[in-house]
């Protein structure tokens, strides 16, 4: 099946199904010589693992990664890095009643419309558990980017209709993100959202959310016009996530009602800036920008400002409320979905958004090194 490979130079293939033997990834083009351990990968997988309370599903997987190749004595070899995580808590019987019906809001019918056959156990390859391979690969990309001083941080910026202040607003606390089950950087708002989600869960329903991300110390010049712009590649990466339905950069959709005089980011001389990880050409001056309405991207190329974007996710379609559907014979059925499901994917989406951002940036960083003499 096509569509399981991501990237050009930092090239990732993910594999596995929700209720198969395991999931994982193979990373080709991973540079040699930077430190990488099993714990680096395990730490990121723990962040996306369900069963941590709050709005998450109770499926309890150890999600212990195995590095099968590409690392020796704690450093990458330059050969393909293969990572495997074995499934241990599938409970496939929970899905027996779904074998011949199409769940509302899921890929069951569209998958069969394409292939004529599907794995009904948890959605197979279309399950949210597929993101495990992405997060494992993203952990490797993060270690590579850390050597360049590039940091990627995401957080829940909206959940169940409750908006969260941004980094420039009062009450935003970077240290709070990993301190509450929703990964909201504001303690009081996190509690409000948790209470609302619990009420939604008790009614057998689910809620949508948004995840925002900021990438700092990104060198200017990343992005490959015209079809592989930095923001275009990020949009493709984020919208490849199962529940993602929209993305905006910087001022985003509010730009539709703005003015150029308000939203133009203007350069000013900045000769005191430290040299970028990838040096500028000798005839290009160092500059700062008076604003960041563009979210750190101009003409599809990074401008040295923090890269800022937000991804919107739809409510989880697996809900325990009675819904109408059809079966394989085309007969209308009433369906109640049983099993273990998220009420809101926000906390688990945070590390996945970070992982996909890391994969895009690692790939473009390698491409930029070959862009000029």
pLDDT band at 203 (very low <50, low <70, confident <90, very high): very high
Q: Domain residues for 277? A: 5-368
| Rounded distance between C-alpha atoms, residue 26 and residue 51, angstroms | 27
| Rounded distance between C-alpha atoms, residue 215 and residue 151, angstroms | 6
Report residue 358 as tokens.
């890391």
Nearest to residue 229, comparing CAs of 155, 307, 151? 307
Strands 151-159 and 162-163, sheet pairing: antiparallel
| 373: in domain | no
Say what the pLDDT of residue 321 is. Answer: 92
The percent helix, strand, coil of the chain (3-state, each to 5) is: 30, 25, 45
If one counts every other C-beta atom within 10 angstroms of the C-beta of residue 310, the result is 22
For residues 202-213, average pLDDT:
96
Domain count, the chain: 1
Reported as half-sphere exposure (CB side, CA atoms, 13 A), residue 326 has a value of: 5
Report residue 33 as tokens.
């010589």
Say what the pLDDT of residue 193 is. Answer: 98
Say what the pLDDT of residue 92 is. Answer: 57
Name every residue whose Cβ is closer than 8 Å to that of residue 258 and which is 6 or more positions away in sequence.
Answer: 251, 293
CB 347 within 8 A of CB 156: yes
CATH number, domain of 146, equals 3.60.150.10
- For the CA atoms of 59, 14, 145, 223, the dihedral, rounded to the nearest 10 degrees, stands at -120
**Full-prediction pTM beyond 0.85?**
yes
| Rounded distance between C-alpha atoms, residue 50 and residue 46, angstroms | 8
| 27: in domain | yes
Nearest to residue 239, comparing CAs of 26, 20, 6? 6
Q: What is the pLDDT of residues 70-89, one digit of tens each?
A: 999 999 999 999 999 999 87
Instruction: Tell me the percentage of the chain whose pLDDT exceeds 70.
Output: 94
State how far the alpha carbon of 296 is from the alpha carbons of 48, 155, 249, 267, in Å.
27, 18, 8, 12
- For the CA atoms of 215, 56, 140, 229, the dihedral, rounded to the nearest 10 degrees, stands at -40
pLDDT at 59 over 60: no
For residues 272-293, average pLDDT:
91
In this predicted structure, which of 10-19, 159-168, 340-349 has the lowest mean pLDDT? 340-349
Cα–Cα–Cα angle for 354, 359, 364, rounded to 5 degrees: 125
Say what the pLDDT of residue 186 is. Answer: 97
Say what the pLDDT of residue 313 is. Answer: 98
Report residue 252 as tokens.
């985003």
Instruction: Tell me the percentage of the chain whose pLDDT exceeds 90.
Output: 82
| Rounded distance between C-alpha atoms, residue 232 and residue 225, angstroms | 9
Say what the pLDDT of residue 88 is. Answer: 87
CB 136 within 8 A of CB 25: yes
For residues 217 and 55, which has the higher predicted lDDT (pLDDT)? 217
DSSP secondary structure of 112-132: HHHHS----STTGGGSGGGHH
DSSP secondary structure of 11-55: EEEEEE-TTSSEEEEEEESPPSSSB--HHHHHHHHHHH-S-SSTT
Q: What are phi and psi of 17, to 5 degrees?
A: -125, 160
pLDDT at 96 over 80: no
pLDDT band at 215 (very low <50, low <70, confident <90, very high): very high
| 304: in domain | yes
| 282: in domain | yes
pLDDT at 58 over 60: no
Say what the pLDDT of residue 62 is. Answer: 80
Nearest to residue 64, comparing CAs of 36, 85, 89, 87? 85
């Amino acid at each position: 099946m096509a569509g399981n490979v991501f990237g050009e130079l930092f090239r990732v293939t993910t594999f596995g199904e929700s209720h198969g033997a395991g999931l994982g990834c193979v990373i080709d083009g991973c540079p040699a010589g930077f430190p990488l351990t099993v714990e680096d990968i395990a730490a990121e997988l723990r962040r996306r693992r369900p069963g941590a309370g709050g709005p998450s599903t109770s499926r309890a997987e150890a999600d212990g990664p195995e590095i099968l190749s590409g690392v020796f004595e704690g450093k990458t070899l330059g050969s393909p890095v293969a990572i495997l995580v074995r499934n241990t808590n599938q409970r496939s019987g929970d899905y027996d009643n779904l074998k011949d019906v199409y769940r509302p809001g899921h890929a069951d019918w569209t998958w069969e419309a394409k292939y004529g056959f599907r794995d009904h156990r948890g959605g197979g390859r279309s399950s949210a558990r597929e993101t495990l391979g992405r997060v494992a690969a993203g952990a490797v990309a993060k270690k590579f980017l850390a050597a360049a001083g590039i940091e990627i941080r995401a957080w829940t910026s909206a959940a169940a209709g409750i908006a969260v202040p941004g980094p420039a607003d009062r009450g935003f606390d970077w240290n709070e993100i990993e301190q509450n089950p929703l990964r909201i950087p504001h303690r009081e708002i996190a509690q409000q959202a948790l209470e609302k989600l619990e009420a939604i869960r008790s009614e057998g329903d689910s809620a949508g959310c948004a995840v925002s991300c900021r990438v700092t110390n990104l060198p200017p010049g990343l992005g490959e016009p015209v079809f592989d712009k930095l923001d275009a590649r990020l949009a493709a990466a984020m919208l490849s996530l199962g529940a993602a339905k929209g993305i905006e950069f910087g001022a985003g959709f509010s730009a539709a009602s703005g003015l150029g005089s308000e939203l133009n980011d203007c350069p000013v001389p900045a000769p005191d800036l430290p040299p970028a990880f990838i040096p500028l050409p000798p005839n290009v001056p160092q500059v700062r920008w008076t604003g960041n309405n563009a979210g750190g991207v101009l003409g599809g190329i990074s401008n040295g400002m923090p890269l800022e974007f937000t991804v919107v996710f739809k409510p989880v379609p697996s809900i325990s409320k009675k819904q109408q559907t059809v079966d394989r014979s085309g007969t209308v059925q009433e369906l109640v979905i049983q099993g273990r499901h998220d009420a809101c994917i926000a906390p688990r989406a945070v590390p996945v958004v970070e992982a996909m951002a890391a994969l895009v940036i690692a790939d473009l960083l390698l491409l930029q090194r070959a862009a000029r003499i």
